Amino acid sequence: MYTQEVTVNNEVGLHARPATFFIQKANEFKSGIWVEKEDRRVNAKSLLGVLSLGIVKGTPITLIADGGDEKEAVTALVDLVKDNFGE
């Protein structure tokens, strides 16, 4: 299991379009991947799950992956968040 915390800093947070990019990236990996905000954890490959967290600008989230490509998965998702989802 590999985890890393990152803060969402894009203007709209993790909603609609950025969430779609996030889920697409998560689905490129075989590992199980989760997003944790405070005490809630959801599947990072589920659009409804990610949207249900209500992640806004300035929110710290923890990315958790478990599997053969766990480190690569978390690193790629952290990079995506730090790059403001390419926007």
| From 2, 15, 20, 21, active-site residue | 15
Catalytic residue flag (residue 15): yes
CB-side exposure of 7: number of CA atoms within 13 Å?
5
- Contacts (Cβ under 8 Å, ≥6 apart) of 63: 3, 4, 5, 6, 33, 34, 35, 36, 44, 74, 77, 78
Which residues are annotated as catalytic?
A: 15
